[in-house]
Amino acid sequence: MKKKIIVIAVAIVAILLIAYFGVGRSFFEKYSYGTEMADLGEYFGVSEGELAIVIENETIVPKAITEGGEVFLKLETVNDRISEGFYYDGTYNGGTLMYTCADGTYETVLGSDACTLDGAPESLGYVGCIEKNGEVYISTNYISKFLQASFEIYEKHVRVSTDGGDFDAKKVTSDTQIRTLGGVKSPILREVAEGEIVELIEAMEEWSKVVTADGFTGYIENKRLDDAGIMSYSAATAPDISTVTPNLLSERVVLGFNSIAGVGGNDTVYGALDEGNGMNVIAPTWFSVTGSDGSIRNFGSSAYIEAAHNRGVKVWAVADDFNYRNDNGDTSFSDIDFLSNTVSRRALENNLVNACVSLGADGLNLDFEKLNSECGPHYAQFIKELSVLTHKSGLVLSVDNYVPFSYNEFYRLDVQGKFADYVLIMGYDEHYHGSGNIGSVASFDYVCFGMDKTLENVPANRIINAIPFYTIVWKEENGKVSDSYLTLANQAEYISKYNIGYDWDEETCQNYAQWQSGSTTYQVWFEDSESIRAKLNAMNSRNIGGVGVWRLGYGTSDVWNLIGLYKTMTTESTN
């Protein structure tokens, strides 16, 4: 009997062993946790000498590189994905990386372990930038010197933190792993300890896609996670050294542009000052770029400045990129020639500032109207460098701009908002001379749009909106459109001479006239005290820094009286 029991027990054990190896083992293998570690190089898509870049938990396409124990990011990646500010000139001193801040311009040459601030040397202890395969790369240490960004370096990736922000947090409840995919057999990215906080990206039935604090994006079982509420990533704490302290007037700016076509034109200052009731800044068009080397034409007059100062009016000399070339038919150079070359660009900056200082001007007004998208980064660097010089010289820097649209965003109002004292919007030319496109020069909505778009990048007290002291008389005959200017000063006489009737147009907030003479149809959207009152009220409600007018010699006393009233108001209307 005993032997029989033993035989039966052995048989049962044998059956169990057979069941385990036949069924149970496959069951165990199917549902047990895999221990295979992921190939991190393959996971991040990097080769030897490369690191993946994880920015705010997003792994981006460009790669960092390692050289000499340093980690380098491509210049384009830094400016596009972290923060713009670095500027590179491959022809200056054999290749120079620049960063302009309120104190001046830092420069480091390719392969150098030192930099300079306006010529004063500083040892870095590491190489600031290198060139590889025709691309410029910047050391993470050098980036951190200027930008609000921090870098954590790991085996196969570098994690970049900039702005911080809130995230949906989960707390890991027991030691586990983060895996490349949902599933117990998926390769392991790394071990995850109890108590770690991860960011939830996507919750599924049994697994959740998460990001760890060190930048691994993968999957953890839901049973290992618990809600931790909304948390915040810490922003990088490096100081912001890029924004200048603006040099502002103690009252609203009332600026009148004075068109000066030659030295003899400076005699118009007396009539201009008499016209401008409430004007506290006069802007004569004195300087114009004359060559690709940064040379300028100068019509400036110290006597002009003395006359203005005797009336309590400041002088901001205007510098343009078109009058000299228009006057002389010179097509031998373009803006890109003197802006993209550091030697020429800085020569222009020094020429402008030195001219203002020697004349005794109070400020410089920049009126560059011939830029294209190619000029964008060079113009931004020009604004920055010029700002440093003007502030060191005690000059106010104001910059003129078209009403901002996507097609002219290369004028970089965001850069101007940090470096220029005033950003002036030319709130006119909605429909312009010679365009053949009939319409208002400056409708109410157009002017408001210009201010509102500018407010997205520039503080209100640093915005000046310029209004036109002219309109356009549009003529259409047999499908052909021509036009002529009509100033405010000549408008009443014109209306009387041709016995023109007009009506208020609510859409444009202007008086509108249309009449027929023979086969010609005439249309005018008038600028007058009513239309300008509406614009001034819109400016007043936005509490911007002031008003400009194009131009002196075109105005009328009733309009200037409104402007004088606007200057002293803060919240009331000009009614």
pLDDT in tens, 379-388: 999 999 999 9
- Check whether residue 125 and residue 228 sit in a common domain: no
Asked if residue 268 and residue 208 are part of one domain, the reply reads: no
Residue with tokens 């701009």: 401
Q: Are residues 145 and 203 in the same domain?
A: no
Do 345 and 453 belong to one domain? yes
- What's the chain's Rg over C-alpha atoms? 34
Backbone phi, psi, residue 350, to 5°: -65, -40
CA torsion, ordered 401, 405, 411, 416, to nearest 10 deg: 70
Question: Residue 328 belongs to a domain with what CATH number?
Answer: 3.20.20.80
Q: Is residue 2 part of a domain?
A: no
DSSP string across 467-487: EESEEEEEEEETTEEEEEEEE
The DSSP letter of residue 214 is T
Rounded to whole angstroms, the Cα distance separating 250 from 464 reads: 14
Instruction: Using the 3D structure, point to which of 159, 191, 211 is the last residue of a domain.
Output: 159
Let me know whether 304 and 199 are in one domain: no
Please give the C-alpha separations between residue 262 and each of 173, 285, 298, 360, 514, in angstroms, as whole numbers: 80, 9, 9, 19, 38
> Last residue of some domain: 104, 134, 159?
159
The pLDDT of residue 83: 87
Number of domains in the chain: 3
pLDDT in tens, the chain (575 residues): 566 666 666 666 566 555 555 555 554 455 689 999 999 999 999 999 999 999 977 899 999 999 999 999 999 999 999 988 999 999 999 999 999 999 999 999 999 999 999 999 999 999 999 999 999 999 999 999 998 888 999 999 999 988 778 899 999 999 999 999 999 999 999 999 999 999 999 999 999 999 999 999 999 999 999 999 999 877 655 555 567 899 999 999 999 999 999 999 999 999 999 999 899 999 999 999 999 999 999 999 999 999 999 999 999 999 999 999 999 999 999 999 999 999 999 999 999 999 999 999 999 999 999 999 999 999 999 999 999 999 999 999 999 999 999 999 999 999 999 999 999 999 999 999 999 999 999 999 999 999 999 999 999 999 999 999 999 999 999 999 999 999 999 999 999 999 999 999 999 999 999 999 999 999 999 999 999 999 999 999 999 999 999 999 999 999 999 999 999 986 555 55
Give yes or no: residues 373 and 320 share one domain: yes
Which helix (DSSP H) or strand (DSSP E) does residue 286 occupy? strand 281-289
Based on the domain organization, do 208 and 346 belong to the same domain? Answer: no
For residues 364 and 451, state if they share a domain: yes
Q: Are residues 433 and 338 in the same domain?
A: yes
Q: Does residue 103 lie in a domain region?
A: yes
For residues 267 and 381, state if they share a domain. yes
Q: Does the residue 490 lie in any domain?
A: no
Domain that holds residue 176: 163-233
Do 228 and 257 have their domain in common?
A: no
> Can you give the pLDDT at residue 165?
81
* Residues 125, 191 share a domain: no
State which amino acid sits at residue 559.
V
pLDDT, tens digit, 9 for 90 and up, residues 267-282: 999 999 999 989 999 9
**pLDDT for the residue numbered 11:** 63
Q: Per the domain annotation, does 299 fall within a domain?
A: yes
Query: For the domain that residue 143 is a member of, what is the CATH number?
Result: 3.30.457.10
Q: CA nearest 260: which of 304, 307, 311?
A: 304
Residue 247 lies in a domain: no
